[in-house]
Amino acid sequence: MRELLGIVGFFALVQGVAGLVHEFTDWDWGLVQRYDFLDGYEVYVSVALIVLALALFAAADSRKHD
């Protein structure tokens, strides 16, 4: 379970950073800008993904070692 939380957290962190990089540099990568219903909220969603990633890393760290 720890590994799954870490992998999902890493994916959320990468996508959050990619969304912020896309907004501020116009590089075309990441998934956040590809969804039309998020139009205008890309920065908020990217920050939320980074916060989610930190929470997932904390949850993975709090799990007991097997």
**Per-residue pLDDT tens for 5-61?**
999 999 999 999 999 999 889 888 888 888 889 888 999 999 999 999 999 999 998
Q: What separation in angstroms does the CA of 15 have from each of 6, 62, 64?
A: 14, 23, 27
Q: What separation in angstroms does the CA of 39 have from each of 3, 5, 18, 45, 62?
A: 32, 28, 15, 10, 35
Question: pLDDT value at position 2?
Answer: 86
Question: pLDDT value at position 7?
Answer: 94
What pTM does this model have?
0.88
Question: pLDDT value at position 15?
Answer: 95
